[in-house]
Amino acid sequence: MGSWLEGKILADKIKEEVKQQAMQYKDTHGKVPGLVAVLVGENKSSQVYVRSKEKACQALGLFSEVQHYPSDTPPAILLEKIDELNRREEVDGILVQLPLPPHIDPQKIICAVSPDKDVDGLHPFSLGTILMNRVGFRPCTPLGVVELLKYNKIPIEGRDVVVVGRSILVGKSLAAMLTNENGTVTICHSKTRDLDKVCARADILIAAMGKAVFVKPEFVKPGAVVIDVGINSVSDPVKVKEYFGDDVKRQQDLQAKGYTLVGDVHPAAFERAGAMTPVPGGVGPLTIAMLMRNTLEAFKRRKGL
């Protein structure tokens, strides 16, 4: 059994740094970084995410705004609104909350965001800077993972790294970023043969496929670092007991909320890992912290600071 890699301490440190710099620029330049979130439709999870980002901006002294559009908004109208945000001087970062309604092509909308305001790091230009290992915005969750490893002095260079999941949002982006850090990276997915054996050779194992407890304890090499990016809800009492045993907090979650959260990694993998991120409280807090830092960086670059 190893140790827990909790993200909150690092997230709080990063947010405090952003707050202090934002205050400094307000005093010296009379301006603060500004973030606008674009929300389309009534997806409850998206609404929760956007509110949390708005609250983070307010707590750190950043300008924030939410533009909420009906789910039947035509793509052309949304593109017009993105163009307006690109031209607004007080807006440094534009965040298009995903998923979008089915009739809207998310890539077309993301590509419409000006690269210098792409604080989510999902524009093709931003993704290209990762592959070229040049300065640019990085997607917030992968950036949080890399920062968490560095903060805990976990070496990446020369290590065997396995990333399970190939989404642009996390898997592919993170694999490229870890390659830039000189890790030897393997990307796995649903078609990977002998997945358990591939994972079991990893010094650093990262699960980011969005499937609850997909990574079993036998996937983990004893002493490996395990980063669990997944967040899944489980409401079946039998499953909760299977995953967490008699954990009192999980039972309290189940009674109070009707569910508890579990990652893509089976909780029992902690018994084999050298270090592992908890769910919740591991990577999650860092995602918003990185968004705040990206917004500050966008402000500084646009103002030439």
How many other C-beta atoms can be found within 10 angstroms of the C-beta atom of residue 72? 9
Whether 18 is covered by a domain: the verdict is no
Instruction: Provide the domain count of the chain.
Output: 2
Please tell me whether residues 37 and 145 are part of one structural domain. Answer: no
Tell whether the model's pLDDT for residue 276 goes beyond 80: yes
User: What is the arithmetic mean of pLDDT over 226-246?
Assistant: 94
- Of 69-83, 152-166, 170-184, 243-257, the least confident: 243-257
Q: CB–CB of 82/113 below 8 Å? A: yes
Same domain (yes/no): 62, 108: yes
Distance between the two ends of the chain, CA-based, in angstroms? 46
Identify the CA nearest to 55 among candidates 79, 35, 76: 35
Mean model confidence pLDDT for the chain: 96
| CATH value at residue 166 | 3.40.50.720
pLDDT in tens, 142-188: 999 999 999 999 999 999 999 999 999 999 999 999 999 999 999 99
Rounded Cα gap, residues 288 and 249, in angstroms: 25
Confidence of residue 287 (pLDDT cuts 50, 70, 90): very high
* 52 located within any domain: yes
**Longest Cα pair distance anywhere in the chain, in angstroms?**
58
Supply the CATH number for residue 57's domain. 3.40.50.10860
User: Which pLDDT value is given to residue 154?
Assistant: 98
DSSP per-residue letters across 25-93: HHHHHS---EEEEEEES--HHHHHHHHHHHHHHHHHT-EEEEEEE-TT--HHHHHHHHHHHHH-TT--E
* pTM summary value: 0.95
Alpha carbon separation from 16 to 47, 95, 292 (Å, rounded): 25, 21, 10
Do 180 and 275 lie in one domain? The reply is yes
Rg (CA), the chain: 20
Residues 111 and 155 reside in one and the same domain: no
pLDDT interval class at 45 (50, 70, 90):
confident
- What's the average model confidence in pLDDT over 187-193? 94
Shared-domain flag, residues 184 and 241: yes
184-188 and 160-164: which strand pairing?
parallel
Enumerate the active-site residues: 53, 97, 120
| 74 part of a folded domain | yes
Query: Does some domain include residue 303?
Result: no
What pLDDT is attached to residue 117? Answer: 98
**Neighbour count for residue 99 (Cβ, 10 Å):** 12
Instruction: Output the pLDDT for position 216.
Output: 97
> Looking at the structure, do residues 112 and 144 belong to the same domain, yes or no?
no
Same domain, 173 and 227: yes
Average pLDDT over every residue of 106-115: 97
DSSP class of residue 160 equals E
270 & 144 share domain? yes
- How buried is 231 (Cβ within 10 angstroms: 0-12 exposed, 13-18 middle, 19+ buried)? middle
Distance CA 212, CA 271 (A): 18
Residues 68 and 191 in one domain: no
Peptide bond into 280 cis (omega under 30): yes
Helix (H) or strand (E) holding 23: helix 8-29
For residue 73, the enclosing domain spans 29-116
- Is the distance from CB of 282 to CB of 7 less than 8 angstroms? yes
Q: Are residues 76 and 145 in the same domain?
A: no
Does the pLDDT value for residue 1 go beyond 80? no
The mean per-residue pLDDT over the stretch 284-288 comes to: 95
Q: Which whole-number Å values give the CA distances from 3 to 83, 110, 215, 226, in the listed order?
A: 47, 38, 18, 10
Q: Is the pLDDT at 81 greater than 80, yes or no?
A: yes
Same-domain status, 270 and 153: yes
Same-domain status, 215 and 279? yes
Domain annotation covers residue 298: no
Distance CA 276, CA 261 (A): 16
